[in-house]
Amino acid sequence: MIIIKQQNHKNSEGEEQLSALMTNTNAVRIITQAIEGTLGPKGLDTMLVDQLGDVVITNDGVTILNMMDINHPAAKMLINIAKAQQEEVGDGTTTATILADALVSEGANQVMRGVPVVKVIDGIRKGIKIALQALDKKAILVNDIESPILAEVARVAGRGNEDIADLVIKACRLLGREKLLDSSLKLPDIIRAVEGANNQVISGVIIGKEPMNSEMPKKLKYSKVLVIDDALEPEEVEDGALATEAGFTRYMKYQEEFRQNINRVTKLGVKLVLVDRGVHDIAEEIFTDTGVMVLQRVSNKELRQTAEFTGAKSLKRTGLKKSEDELLKVFGEAEEVYLDEKLKHVCILKGKGKAQATILVGASTEEVVGERERIAKDAASAVQAAVKGGVVSGGGTVELAISRQVQEARKEVKGMAAYGMDCVIEALKRPFAQIIINAGFNPLEKVENISVAQIETCKDSLGIDCDSGEMTDMVDDGIYDPVLVKRHALKAAGEVAEAVLRIDTIIKKKERNTSNISQE
């Protein structure tokens, strides 16, 4: 458990005014220390243990942050930024956290020297803007889905797991560039990690459910598909109505109408039914007798994927009252459906709708299932981001190069805002330095040597081989990072740094009267 307590500095009036800033800075530093050791090819794992002794071992920054026991508000702000990074681009949370920590720490140092906070923030804004512009200019666009650059991106983001990288690239090529550019698709959503499974990419959809009873078919050759985004039940009668004759009559009417609707669906050729919630006994009986496979309590994500893949349109239960012609228009179609009894899921193949792919990642034991899935999702997120926004040289080299451009721009800035730009310059060096530290080398020596070499050769992609410590070209070595990941990490870091630095006072709120709230 990590508990960060507010510090109370009362030695002097000046110290008291800075107590909020130093408290928040320390909180951000402690959070960053928990994950900075995971960055880069030599990054190590973190073990998280709960009160029951359950253990998670991971190298994934956002997973570590999500599972940490945190009670400090500034630390929670940093974690929320990391979550936003994960939600937006699916990768780069550790980099975003390290950048934010550097900006906050450097900003606090400038304030301690006497630079007004507003000037520091002004300089940080200017520096971030220049850095983002420079980053965009360095982007290498990836217009061909067959480009070997994408395979390298998958390998780097997949922490060197070649098998996972291959699966992600195969799925991307199956889906196509246009699909990857679709904002409605989040490539990590097509990944499933299952204990005992073989690595494979399926041109279809996998539903993590079994038929609702053992008498239903386990394999279908051709089927019309019905997707119910609701409970598959008769219309309800209000409470107490059954005690009256009119209410009971209405109840029986609803039951009969429901039975007729289910019979009509089966006569129209539906053989696969997916339901968001539960299925009534009447529907289960009819579907079982007529050889229909029913999957109930299917997740919204899987319902949406199935509808898109088979060409079906989701219905509410009242939609079953539609005419036969109208119903035929909302049914989807699939050429093959089968239950994998070993893995306990249903595969839907050869749908008539839009292309879909599912990446099935195998894991030898239950303990590694989660980490294999996280690795695959990082790789998928990175590849999709690369397709959307291009790539830059990885290994922290592009940030190091951009720091020099911000340094050049600083010469044109008048006033104390220049000190805020210094914060950005130092922060941009941090990812490269941290990768060097994690590889076991001296960051002061390597950062300076590589920066000089980049200038002399006009190659921003020069970096360090983390095995030998020798200088190498990241592009020649196939080390790329997606521009969108870098861009969002830098923006997010700037936002959280500004928010933390602006806090002048920390005041504990009064206790809420929970008894009065409950009475209301």
Give the pLDDT band (50/70/90) at residue 8: very low
Residue 274: what residue type?
L
Rounded mean pLDDT, 16-20: 69
Residue 4 has pLDDT above 70, yes or no: no
Tens digit of each residue's pLDDT (9 = 90 or more) over 307-350:
999 999 999 989 999 999 999 999 999 999 999 999 999 999 99
Give the domain CATH number at 191. 3.30.260.10
Tell me, yes or no, whether 238 lies in a domain.
yes
Specify whether 336 is located in the same domain as 225.
yes
Together in a domain, 53 and 95: yes
Please, which pLDDT band fits residue 9 given cuts at 50, 70 and 90? very low
Q: Which domain CATH number covers 473?
A: 1.10.560.10
* 90-136 pLDDT tens trace: 788 899 999 999 999 999 999 999 999 999 999 999 999 999 999 99
Structural domain span for residue 273: 220-351
**322 found inside a domain:** yes
**256-283 burial code (b ≥16 CB/10 A, e <16):** eebbebbebbbeeebbbbbbbeebbebb
Could you tell me the pLDDT band of residue 520, with boundaries at 50, 70 and 90?
very low
Does residue 434 or residue 246 have the better pLDDT? 434
pLDDT tens digits for range 351-388: 999 989 999 999 888 778 888 999 999 999 999 999 99
Q: What is the pLDDT of residue 15?
A: 55
**pLDDT average, residue stretch 228-236:** 91
Q: Could you give the number of structural domains in the chain?
A: 3
Of 126, 48, 38, 125, which is closest to residue 82 (Cα–Cα)?
38
* Same domain, yes or no: 374 and 440: no
Q: Is the pLDDT of residue 10 over 50?
A: no
Pair 186, 308 in one domain: no
CA separation, residue 246 to residues 249, 259, 400, 448 (Å): 5, 20, 78, 86
Q: Pairing between strand 270-275 and 293-295? A: parallel
Which of the four pLDDT bands, split at 50, 70 and 90, describes residue 208? very high
Task: Report percent pLDDT > 90 for the chain.
Answer: 69
Q: Give the domain CATH number at 252.
A: 3.50.7.10
Strands (E), 129-236: 191-195, 200-202, 204-207, 219-220, 223-228
Q: How confident is the model over 484-502, as a mean pLDDT?
A: 93
Q: Do 398 and 463 belong together in one domain?
A: yes
- pLDDT at residue 12, rounded to an integer: 47
